[in-house]
Amino acid sequence: MRSTRDICRKLAEQRGISMPLALLLFLICALLTSVVIAAGTAAVGRSSNLSAGDQRYYSVVSAAELVQSTFDETRVNISCTQVKQFTRQTSYTESGVTRGSSTDTVEQTTLFVNGTQIATASGDGTLPISLNGLTLPERSAVCLLLGSAGGTASASELWSRMATGLAGGSGVELGEFDLTHTISSAPAGIDKTALQNALEVKITEWTLEDGGLQLQFDSAHASEQDDFSSLTLLCGSDFVTSESTEENRATPVDVPADSGYLRTETTTVTTTRNADVSWTSTSLQKTGGSA
């Protein structure tokens, strides 16, 4: 207690012996201040490095987790409807004796994804299958069914594949997609172009032999191939197929013709094949990168 009182008394004194002690305390405060400033400067530097470099890794992770949540436990219904209309015309005499008959058949095949029509064709014509407007799980289900990245398929080929629900095959590339997060400004000291490049993620999709998918997420940019991150997402699929048929017979229509009458009978047979695809993500792992 006495030593504390002595220090306070000496600080309050106006004589020169108190000056060295005051200078010592000042130096201690100045040293602590410099340490705090240095620590703050180092933290800012680390933050800048994260925005410019490690942002690539976190962008790839975010994109992969977003797509993973999009696929996980998602169900897609693909239905193919084949409508056949049989028109039979029979000529009769006035007494009801058959003179002759002929039958015309009109066939139309239509493809739906979750209730939305994406293609149609008459007879065994070619269906131009458009994938525009489909979600990634919907698009992937159609491509897996066709065994290709969209394009065209004949009505008979599509109808046959709908029976099995899976075209099969491994390593079929279904396409590439780019996810880009556009920024309007960058932190001070950070190159906006470099940051924009870091936020671009390329997604490449392939089929697997068991009906699953492999999606590759890459942050590699054309101007910065030495600094990239890569993740792989694997998704499994469960195909459940079903088929239903409905027949509708219209009321026969008789019209006078050639001293007799002509009877027209129309029968419409609608057959629908469904493929319910359930997606489930199985793994997400880092497969490459410079970080």
pLDDT in tens, 55-85: 777 778 888 888 888 888 889 999 999 999 9
Residue range(s) defining the domain that contains residue 21: 2-46
In a domain, 189, yes or no: yes
52 pLDDT band, cuts 50/70/90, is very low
In a domain, 185, yes or no: yes
Q: Are residues 71 and 211 in the same domain?
A: yes
> Which among 178, 160, 191, 146 is positioned nearest to 67, based on CA atoms?
178
Among 163-167, 190-194, 202-206, 240-244, which is the least confidently predicted range?
A: 190-194
pLDDT tens-digit map of 96-108 = 899 999 999 999 9
What whole-number distance in Å separates Cα of residue 138 and Cα of residue 241? 16
Q: What is the mean pLDDT of residues 151-173?
A: 74
The overall pTM is greater than 0.85: no
Residue position matching structure tokens 């705090």: 36
User: Residues with Cβ < 8 Å from 90, sequence gap 6 or more?
Assistant: 98, 100, 101, 262, 263, 265
Integer angstrom CA distances of residue 191 from 48, 58, 179, 186: 10, 18, 20, 7
Among 37-46, 107-116, 133-142, which is the least confidently predicted range?
A: 37-46
In a domain, 52, yes or no: no
CA atoms within 13 A on the CB side of 133: 8
**Which has the higher per-residue pLDDT, 153 or 149?**
153
Q: Within a 10 A sphere around the Cβ of 59, how many other Cβ atoms?
A: 22
Q: Are residues 150 and 209 in the same domain?
A: yes
Q: What is the mean pLDDT of residues 113-123?
A: 91
Q: What is the mean pLDDT of residues 139-147?
A: 82
| Residue 222: predicted pLDDT | 47
Q: Average per-residue pLDDT in the chain?
A: 77
Compute and round to an integer the Cα radius of gyration of the chain. Answer: 37
Q: Are residues 110 and 242 in the same domain?
A: yes
Q: How many domains does the chain have?
A: 2
User: Residues with Cβ < 8 Å from 165, sequence gap 6 or more?
Assistant: 145, 239, 240, 241, 275, 277
Q: What is the mean pLDDT of residues 245-257?
A: 95
Q: What is the mean pLDDT of residues 252-272?
A: 94
Q: Are residues 93 and 139 in the same domain?
A: yes
How many residues appear in the chain?
291
| Residue 11: predicted pLDDT | 52
What whole-number distance in Å separates Cα of residue 33 and Cα of residue 172? 62
> How is residue 80 written in tokens?
């193919």
In a domain, 68, yes or no: yes
51 pLDDT band, cuts 50/70/90, is very low
pLDDT tens-digit map of 169-215 = 556 667 666 665 554 554 455 455 555 555 677 888 888 877 788 88
DSSP 47-115: HHHIIIIIHHHHHHHHHHHHHHHHHTTEEEEEEEEEEEEEEEEEEEETT--EEEEEEEEEEEEEEEETT
User: Residues with Cβ < 8 Å from 162, sequence gap 6 or more?
Assistant: 78, 80, 145, 241, 273, 274, 275
Q: Which residues pair with 203 in a beta bridge?
A: 177, 217
Q: Are residues 30 and 64 in the same domain?
A: no
Q: Are residues 102 and 14 in the same domain?
A: no
6 pLDDT band, cuts 50/70/90, is low
In a domain, 205, yes or no: yes
**Which has the higher per-residue pLDDT, 28 or 181?**
28
In a domain, 101, yes or no: yes
What whole-number distance in Å separates Cα of residue 159 and Cα of residue 110? 10
Contact 57, 223 (CB under 8 A): no
Q: Are residues 106 and 183 in the same domain?
A: yes
Which range among 153-162, 178-187, 222-231 has the greatest average pLDDT? 153-162
Widest CA span in the chain: 145
Q: Which residues pair with 201 in a beta bridge?
A: 179
Q: Are residues 42 and 69 in the same domain?
A: no
In a domain, 251, yes or no: yes
In a domain, 51, yes or no: no
Q: Are residues 22 and 112 in the same domain?
A: no
Q: Are residues 10 and 112 in the same domain?
A: no
| Residue 139: predicted pLDDT | 87
Q: Are residues 127 and 269 in the same domain?
A: yes
Q: Are residues 80 and 18 in the same domain?
A: no
15 pLDDT band, cuts 50/70/90, is low
